[in-house]
Amino acid sequence: MPIVKITGPGLSAIGLSVALLWGCLISERLITRHAVRERTRVVRELEQMRLERQATPVSVPILRRVLRAPMALG
């Protein structure tokens, strides 16, 4: 003995609402997955750029005196 009967339009509205809810949930997962991939790509790219800009250390230059041939005056 049903208390309230669900009409055809009401059942259609419920079905449409459920379909929209599932669509939102699925699209949210896809958007989140894409955002995580994009974030990972950007972090890797920034790390690569940081490594490219990093100055490589060099050895300390050795001071050498230039030996000149003695000048002959005269």
- Spans of all domains in the chain: 11-51
Q: By C-alpha distance, which of 4, 2, 20, 24 is closest to 12?
A: 20
Distances (CA, A) of 62 to 42, 55, 59, 65: 42, 20, 9, 10
Query: With 80 as the cut, is the pLDDT of residue 57 above it?
Result: no
Whole-model pTM above 0.85?
no
Q: What is the pLDDT of residue 10?
A: 92
In percent, the amount of the chain with pLDDT more than 90 equals 57
